Amino acid sequence: MEQLHQEEVLIRACTRNNRLFGLMKEHGFGGKGRVNVAAFSRKIGIGQNVIGDLLNIKIIPMHSKNSRFGRSGEYIHAALKIAEYFNVEVEELFPIDMYLKVKCSKTERPATLEELPKLISLMESYCTEPLSGIPIPMKIMEGSHE
């Protein structure tokens, strides 16, 4: 069995809506590095699962073609209510392009201890200047080829 599990580490990456995350933190729903969806849900009266799905980019915040709850292309009720609570434009808080681009919000990759320091230092270096032009995941991929 030990031969089957050569890699020691599992690197897990989750994408989140940074604006919603930041606003929730700013309004006191969360602490360092995390947000309290339960408290936010109780405050605005929307289900935790919908907020979680919007935060973690798991659903597109618009009604689909065959939706029974609204016309196609309109933002869903939860998205409108969240934007209204924070007093921001719903299009800015939930940019539809971003939701359409993110096909998979969570991914995993096994790694060995030997390659881990290199990967971590690469990721950390992008934290300091994350918007320097080239897509960050691409850079990390380049690094892993080295």
Q: How many residues bind other proteins (CB under 8 A)?
A: 59
**What is the rounded CA–CA span in Å between residue 56 and residue 22?**
13
**What is the rounded CA–CA span in Å between residue 122 and residue 68?**
47
Q: For residue 82, which amino acid is it?
A: I
Where in 87-106 is the site for other proteins (CB under 8 A)?
87-88, 92-93, 95, 97-98, 101-106
Compare residues 45 and 133 and give the one whose CB is closer to other proteins. Answer: 133
Where in 125-144 is the site for other proteins (CB under 8 A)?
126-127, 130-131, 135-138, 140-141, 143-144
C-alpha dihedral (21, 25, 29, 34), degrees to nearest 10: 70
> Tokens 């009266």 — which residue?
45
Q: For residue 25, which amino acid is it?
A: K
Where in 16-75 is the site for other proteins (CB under 8 A)?
16-19, 21-23, 26, 33
**What is the rounded CA–CA span in Å between residue 125 and residue 33?**
18
The single residue among 5, 65, 68, 71 that binds other proteins, judged by CB under 8 A, is: 5
Cβ 78 vs Cβ 50: under 8 Å: yes
Positions touching other proteins (CB under 8 A) are 1-2, 5, 7-19, 21-23, 26, 33, 86-88, 92-93, 95, 97-98, 101-107, 109-111, 113, 116, 119-120, 122-124, 126-127, 130-131, 135-138, 140-141, 143-145
